[in-house]
Amino acid sequence: MNLPLRPAPRAGRRQRRRSAGQRARMRFVAIWLSPIMALFALVWFVPIGMAAWLSLHRYSPLSAVSPFIGLRNYVFAFTEDPLFVNALGNTVKFTVVAVPLNVAISLPVAMGLNALKRGGTVFRVLFFAPVTASLVAAALVWVPIYDPQAGWLNAVTGWLGLPQIAWLQNPGTSLWAVLAAALWQDLPYNIIIFLAGLQSIPPLFYDAAKVDGATRFQRFRHITIPLLRRTFVFVFVLSMISYMQQFTHVQVLTRGGPLHSSETLLPYIFARGFNDFQMGYASAMAMVLFAIMLVITVTQLRLMRQRWEY
Amino acid sequence: MRRGVTERRRERGVERRFDPRIPRWRPRFLLVVTVAVVAVGVGACGGGGGGHTQPAGAASGQGSAAKVKLTWWTSNNPTFVAANKDLIKRFEAANPNVTIALTAFPDDVLRQKLQAAYASHTVADMQQMFGSWVPQYARNGLLDPVPSSLTTDVRKRYWGPTLGGYTSAGKLYGLPNEFNLENGGMLANPREFKQAGIPAYPKTWDQLVADARKLTKFNADGKMVRAGFAFTGFDSITFMLLAMILQQNQSYWAGDGVHVDFHTPAAKGAWQALTDLVTKDKVDSRTAYSGDPFDAFFRGQAAMAQHGPWVIPLGKDQFPNFKFDYVPVPPYRGSTYTFAAESGWGEVVNAAAAPDKKAAAWRFIAFSHQEDNLRRWDITTFSVPPLRSLVNDPQILKAVPEMKTSFAVLPYGRYVGPVQDRDRFWQAFQDAFTSVELGRKSAPDALAGAEQQINTMIDQHAGP
């Protein structure tokens, strides 16, 4: 099957000479972007820099002295704080399961919505509704669902003859129960993103493939997946960042328990920083999380880089 | 792909704007404007905090009987707000040169806001703090010591545990409004007792366990559907353990007074008895219900629930038709219910506030701690009064008859001690208890693990 794809022009390594008009354009862009870039630096780079600096100190906001301790906060986190290692492990588990699951569910739903001839708008609104709810309120919805005695989920499992489980009170299920609640609220966002991606694929590709005798799966495999590559990058990166920073659902549903089985990194950092006044140590843990997310994001962007357009 | 007319026009417009023939002053002018805007913005950001804070020692209206405007941050608990506003109204009427601006925050927000505001010197002149929060601030010199005029006989007037959290290096840094009580009383459902054929509430620990066993119900699958004695909440486990140790006339503090020691026979015995309630006696289960024991109690999922008296107004408010009693929890050993208590809500003053504001703040605190005013505050907020003189006070008992149970145990309360990070201290026991209930650890191992965790936390509290 021949698709009318053309390679994107690759930027040459040699600096091309710019015309006076181009130079003026670049200057204009630089000038008009400087306020927003300055603001960006103020609210983003400066705090990150400050967090990195604080992570090298024994810093409590209430104490007048903050001795410089080098990398001791980092060493302590990895060698002497099992709760940090546990929280990091839970965060990784959560992300590794939630991101593919999210994509695996949201893409087919988006394709279904895209295929709808009538009522698509109504379904889009219905599907998007959970995203518009407050995070805390949406998380609280799951408390009665997971209730060990009167919970709806146990009512269903009981009806099916399955064992009754204390979903949030059992260390074996608590993290996954939180994940399901978080997933429920996050799915619609990615459904809409995928839907937008699907709608931007020109129908002529599918028409040409049909003429060539391509099956539905072949069209999905050879047209939909490649042409959604940019959408995939967007969804993977944003979902990964969102799940690595999981906070609200954990706090509302389990507060990290039982036995820290559902404690992810952000609630742990928050507790050490804001409840325990160990802001230097909390900053070190935040920098570790930042570094992990940065590495994964850059890797994802590089691996999924697209060198052609349609 | 064919581009639209609008797009082409837009591009032409951009090209025209960047035509090199256009004089260069425009971009430069824009650059100057941009830099000026950013500079003003940054200046405004930097100046905001400074403008908000008055330098220490600067008196507003100094040199005259000028009006003093105090700022006061408090909890937004509706009963607290009502009681605080009532105090302000009466104080301002008696002191026309002082006005108090009250700002109320949810407890967790207040906790974090205080930390940030003290660090940035933008805190209110006077704050309502929970006793366990005070040591961090007092240790770092952020709070004004209570003036000597208010400390006369203070140890005789107030119950000891109420002052413990407000005391640092022998100095007092605030005055408590309440005796923070989590022990000594429990909710009991009279209907369940009657149905089970139990004529009276338990008077001894053994009776408590026996009654709880009778009151516990399981379904056909063996799953607990009603706890006989619900106590596995975050607060209750630790408070009960500490009380059970103290009731054996033993301490949980090591000889240095800094670390904890749960290796004593008293601690081991108490812990075994406490964990036996879920592993052997099976009168409660952490997986039987969601929420706190009092939630389960008012939902009919528990026949008894160990809690402080603060749950009574919640029950009356949210379950007005639910008939319940608030009765004494029998001591584990001995005849008196000795227990450990944290210091509760009270007032502190910002050490960096202007002298006239500090003076006015202490005047207000002195006013609010007059016996009549404290009585009024405690009745409105359903708090246990911190003053010894108000124990068994007829007016309080008339307004809140259930307080009788709590009054009876107050003489046996002791300050919990330097727990450092209260949440991590309590969490260690919550985790230990859960691991025993789930069969992941033996009771002695779990207790030893909790002790180690707590001592590590105490050692590293100021950071690793």
What's the pLDDT band for B88 if we cut at 50, 70, 90?
Answer: very high
Percent of chain A at pLDDT exceeding 90: 51
pLDDT at site B464 = 43
pLDDT at site A147 = 87
Which chain A residues in 19-48 lie under 8 Å from chain B, judged by CB atoms?
A: 20-22, 24-25, 27-28, 31-32, 34-35, 38-39, 42
- Min CA distance, A140 vs chain B (Å)? 12
Is residue A12 over pLDDT 70? no
d(CA A274, CA B116): 9
Is residue A9 over pLDDT 90? no
Amino acid at B278: V
Is residue B237 over pLDDT 60? yes
What's the pLDDT band for A309 if we cut at 50, 70, 90?
Answer: low
pLDDT at site A4 = 46
- What are the tens digits of pLDDT across the range A190-236? 999 999 999 999 989 999 999 999 999 999 999 999 999 889 989 99
Which chain A residues in 212-271 lie under 8 Å from chain B, judged by CB atoms?
A: 257-260, 271
Please list, in sequence order, all residues whose beta carbon lies within 8 angstroms of the beta carbon of residue A285, skipping any fewer than 6 positions away.
A73, A77, A84, A265, A268, A269, A272
Contacts of B438 in chain A (CB under 8 A): 171, 258-259
User: Which of B30, B115, B464 is nearest residue A76 as measured by Cβ atoms?
Assistant: B464
Please choose, from the candidates B138, B157, B135, B187, the residue with its C-alpha nearest in 3D space to the C-alpha of residue B306. Answer: B187
Is residue B29 over pLDDT 70? no
List strands edge to edge, sheet with B185-188: B304-306, B185-188, B325-328
What's the pLDDT band for A307 if we cut at 50, 70, 90?
Answer: low
Percent of chain B at pLDDT exceeding 70: 85
User: Which of B15, B301, B431 is nearest residue A21 as measured by Cβ atoms?
Assistant: B15
- What are the tens digits of pLDDT across the range A67-96? 999 999 999 999 989 999 999 999 999 999
List strands edge to edge, sheet with B126-130: B98-105, B68-75, B126-130, B345-349, B175-176
Is B126:B359 a contact under the CB 8 Å cutoff? no
What's the pLDDT band for A275 if we cut at 50, 70, 90?
Answer: confident
B94 touches chain A (CB under 8 A): no
Per-residue pLDDT, averaged over B54-77, amounts to 66
Per-residue pLDDT, averaged over B14-31, amounts to 38
**DSSP-assigned letter for residue B6:** H
Query: In this predicted model, which residue has the larger pLDDT, B158 or B29?
Result: B158
Per-residue pLDDT, averaged over A181-197, amounts to 91
Please choose, from the candidates B336, B161, B159, the residue with its C-alpha nearest in 3D space to the C-alpha of residue B249. Answer: B336
Instruction: Spell A49-72 as b/e; 16+ CB within 10 A means b.
Output: eebeebbbbbbbbbbeebeebeeb
pLDDT, mean over chain B: 86
CB half-sphere exposure, B37, CA atoms < 13 A: 15
List the structure tokens of A40: 């960006």
Q: Lowest mean pLDDT: which of A113-117, B195-199, B405-409?
A: A113-117
d(CA B267, CA B238): 12
pLDDT at site B32 = 38
A96 touches chain B (CB under 8 A): no
Per-residue pLDDT, averaged over B437-456, amounts to 94
Model pTM score: 0.78
Mark yes or no for CB contact A60/B42 under 8 Å. Answer: no
Please choose, from the candidates B50, B49, B54, B48, the residue with its C-alpha nearest in 3D space to the C-alpha of residue B354. Answer: B54
Q: What value of ipTM does the predicted structure carry?
A: 0.70
d(CA A110, CA A127): 10
Is residue B47 over pLDDT 50? no
pLDDT at site B65 = 63
Mark yes or no for CB contact B115/A28 under 8 Å. Answer: no
What's the pLDDT band for A15 if we cut at 50, 70, 90?
Answer: low
pLDDT at site B35 = 38
Query: In this predicted model, which residue has the larger pLDDT, A307 or A152?
Result: A152
Per-residue pLDDT, averaged over B274-291, amounts to 91
Strands B345-349 and B126-130, sheet pairing: antiparallel
Is residue B8 over pLDDT 60? no
Is residue A5 over pLDDT 70? no
A305 touches chain B (CB under 8 A): no
Is A306:A229 a contact under the CB 8 Å cutoff? yes
Select from B1, B123, B290, B298 the residue whose CB has the most chain A CBs within 10 Å, as the one to mutate to test that interface.
B290
Is residue A66 over pLDDT 90? no
pLDDT at site A115 = 86
Contacts of A76 in chain B (CB under 8 A): 464
Is B166:B179 a contact under the CB 8 Å cutoff? no
Percent of chain A at pLDDT exceeding 70: 93
What's the pLDDT band for A306 if we cut at 50, 70, 90?
Answer: low
pLDDT at site B5 = 36
Is residue B41 over pLDDT 50? no
- What are the tens digits of pLDDT across the range B112-129? 899 889 988 999 999 999
Instruction: Spell A246-278 as b/e; 16+ CB within 10 A means b.
Output: bebbbbbbbbbbbbbbbbbbbbbbbbbbbbbbb
Please list, in sequence order, all residues whose beta carbon lies within 8 angstroms of the beta carbon of residue B188, skipping any fewer than 6 positions away.
B201, B303, B304, B324, B325, B326, B327
Per-residue pLDDT, averaged over B304-324, amounts to 90
Is residue B80 over pLDDT 80? yes
Per-residue pLDDT, averaged over A8-24, amounts to 66
What's the pLDDT band for A17 if we cut at 50, 70, 90?
Answer: low
pLDDT at site A65 = 84
Is residue A3 over pLDDT 80? no
Q: For B4-156, where are the E strands, in sequence order?
A: 68-75, 98-105, 126-130
pLDDT at site A135 = 85
Q: Lowest mean pLDDT: which of A105-114, A223-232, B50-59?
A: B50-59
Percent of chain B at pLDDT exceeding 90: 71
pLDDT at site B463 = 44
Is A264:A247 a contact under the CB 8 Å cutoff? yes
User: Which of A149, A257, A278 is nearest residue B463 as measured by Cβ atoms?
Assistant: A278
Per-residue pLDDT, averaged over A160-184, amounts to 90
List the structure tokens of B370: 């007059």
